Structure 1
Amino acid sequence: MRQGKLFFEEMAYQRLDKGKDPLVTLAETVDWRIFEEPLRAFRESLRTTGSPAGRKPFDPLLMFKILVLGSLYNLSDDAMEYQIRDRLSFQRFCGLSLEDRVPDAKTLWLFREQLTQAGLVEFLFARFDEALRQMGLEARKGQIVDASLVSVPIQRNSREENRQIREGNPPQEWSETKSRQKDTEARWTVKNGKSTFGYKNHIEADVSCKLIRRYAVTPASVHDSQVFKELLDLGNTSKDVWADSAYRSASHLEYLRQVGYREHIQRKGTSGHPLTRWEKQGNRTRSRIRSRVEHIFAAQKQQAGTLLLRSIGLARAKARIGLRNLVYNLQRFTYLVTQVYVWA
């Protein structure tokens, strides 16, 4: 009976391979041992003294891979539990068989919460970036800074409640249950005439590999320029910096000059001083490089569709967005390797 099940699984996997399952390449190309040590150390730190009786906890690397899948396809924890049980490609990526126990949605939520509270997503992102540099994929040819909006479910509050939230004093009359369901740290912003409620993913990517090297997460109302300096990667082999006109200010230009960077920031006109023909031509020239960062945001949305966070609060937003940035780097690394990218 067991042999029959193994034969069935093998035949099913062969059919998947004919369709060129992309998760196989991701699973085989990435050295997941990069994450295994810190995840196991993290799990050990959560252990409490007491009886060893009870069901054995899931392997932390398995749990991390499931979170990677959930981020890659923008799935809720409930949907993730169902898809792992239903899809052979997901099971194979996680190293599970049809008979293996699958973490339920509550277990996935708890594991993510623990990662969030420990700030481990940021650490894992930095650890993979360090591994990339050790493999020869260092940041080269300059860097590009930009930001993208990430939506969260809209809060239905009164004007007075919104005023109190903006002032940092959530309504005291809210019950504990209602307070847990309200995101008081997300903010509204308007871009290109469209209003968005949520957070902002600020990233810095290198020009050569188009990998995200640094990131920051803020409420959507925070202007792009406010996190410009902290995103700059001093380890990039080039001093060239590209950014759109939102980052152009006298203070930023002076800072770049002082630290020896060469700025390639888009110019912006005003009602009284429109851009000259030469300035417009300069913007077009800079856009040839700067537009590479738009490919990153497009890639993040292409696989998962509209990026909508299913979480409440800035800390959870940082963890989820940080994980999405890490997942992008995992995919990008896989592409670079499979395309025989020459980085010497």
Structure 2
Amino acid sequence: MASASEDDGEAHWVKHKGKPAVHGFKAHVGADADTALVEQIAVTPANINDGKAGPAALPDNPGEVFADSAYRGNHFGDAVRARGGTPRIVATGMWGRDEAETLARLAAWNQPIHRIRGRIEKIFGTWKRSYGLRRMRWRGLAKAAAQIRLTAIAYNLRRTLTIIAAA
């Protein structure tokens, strides 16, 4: 999420796959896969590697942990296993002799992960669309973290009402 100002000394620049560079922060969110309620949040400057910051957003006994390919690597996977969970991280490539068979294995591995992650990515879309989280309002990491946590509380309250109404 973009910082309030490029003069914010605690935010940092990050560029991703041909998109314009952004000066800001990242929110790493641990959410329940079934209800899409936010359980844990870690906020970092944008230049911090997701795999290094992700373990801070893990709840105790997380079960299966679904994550995108930015969380690949031993650091995050080991942290998930240490808390009693099973990492389910999107694979971007696999090795194999037969290309068709390898691509089929890759699709079979990623398909259930994408289904769950799609639910979780909606959290970020809702935060940006409905809760004004396209840009931070204040400067500094602590204030950005407070804004994101307050947004998560509002989101969880609204989501809980939706879940109760559906039941």
The TM-score with structure 2 as length reference comes to: 0.84
Larger Rg over CA atoms:
1
Residue 252 (structure 1) aligns with: 76
Aligned residue pairs, count: 160
Residue 78 (structure 1) aligns with: none
1:190-201 paired onto structure 2 within 5 Å:
190-194=15-19, 195-201=21-27
Contact kept, 8 Å, 2:10 with 2:140, in 1: the verdict is yes
Contact kept, 8 Å, 2:44 with 2:141, in 1: the verdict is yes
Q: Which amino acid aligns with 1:193?
A: G
1:242 aligns to what SS in structure 2? strand
Structure with greater strand share of residues: 2
Equivalent-residue separation in structure 1 for 2:76 and 2:136 (angstroms): 31
What is the CA distance between 1:154 and its match in structure 2? 4.4
**Structure 1 regions of 5+ residues with no counterpart?**
1-149, 156-181
What is the CA distance between 1:291 and its match in structure 2? 1.6
Q: Give the % identical residues.
A: 33
Equivalent-residue separation in structure 1 for 2:41 and 2:23 (angstroms): 20
Work out which of the residue numbers 5, 9, 12 in structure 2 matches 1:187: 12
Residue 65 (structure 1) aligns with: none
Residue 56 (structure 2) aligns with: 230
Equivalent-residue separation in structure 2 for 1:244 and 1:263 (angstroms): 11
Residue 31 (structure 2) aligns with: 205
Residue 315 (structure 1) aligns with: 142
1:334/1:326 Cα in 2 relative to 1: closer, same or farther (>3 Å)?
Answer: same
Contact kept, 8 Å, 2:37 with 2:159, in 1: the verdict is yes
**Structure 2 regions of 5+ residues with no counterpart?**
none
Residue 2 (structure 2) aligns with: 151
1:295/1:221 Cα in 2 relative to 1: closer, same or farther (>3 Å)?
Answer: same
The TM-score with structure 1 as length reference comes to: 0.43
Residue 140 (structure 1) aligns with: none
Contact kept, 8 Å, 2:13 with 2:47, in 1: the verdict is yes
Structure with greater helix share of residues: 1
What is the CA distance between 1:213 and its match in structure 2? 0.1
Residue 45 (structure 2) aligns with: 219
Residue 168 (structure 1) aligns with: none
Over aligned residue pairs, what C-alpha RMSD do you find?
2.3
1:257/1:214 Cα in 2 relative to 1: closer, same or farther (>3 Å)?
Answer: closer
Equivalent-residue separation in structure 1 for 2:26 and 2:45 (angstroms): 6
